[in-house]
Amino acid sequence: MTIDQISVFLENKSGRLADVTKALSDGGINLRAMTIADTADFGILRLIVSDPDKAGEILEKHGFTVRITKVLGIEIDDKPGGLHKVMEIFKNNGVNIEYLYASLENKNNKAVVIFKVEDIELGLKIVERNSLVAVSGKNF
């Protein structure tokens, strides 16, 4: 299972992030996970949301540049070593992780970590082969 991640390209100026969250809030979109990376001139906001197609449409109508990417959401034990277990599995199976970030959710002592991997099909096979719990957009 994969999740659709929304990447929003933002000018690095005051208020742009608030503009995004207002547009999504007004559109009834719930945020599940988010991270932002910035440079001197721009930032890339990455979001997991309740309805990625609708969120993309809303943001584009508000003038934002948006891209949707497939990522993996994996449940991990919310305790020391929980993330390391998954990292070791990926390492031992040659999965290249481009970036990762944690979600805003925590249920039943489980956290969800979002992984952008170089080869999504290989990542999915490794998740299944190692009985890791993948989260879909519908149950996230």
Each domain of the chain, given as residue ranges in start order, spans 3-69, 70-135
Question: Residue 90: what are its φ and ψ, rounded to 5°?
Answer: -65, -45
CATH annotation of 3-69? 3.30.2130.10
pLDDT tens column, 82-117: 999 999 999 999 999 999 999 866 677 788 999 999
CA angle 114, 38, 28 (to 5 degrees): 55
Architecture of domain 70-135: 2-Layer Sandwich (3.30)
Percent of the chain having pLDDT more than 70? 95
Look up the pTM and report it.
Answer: 0.88
Facing residues of 31 across strands? 49
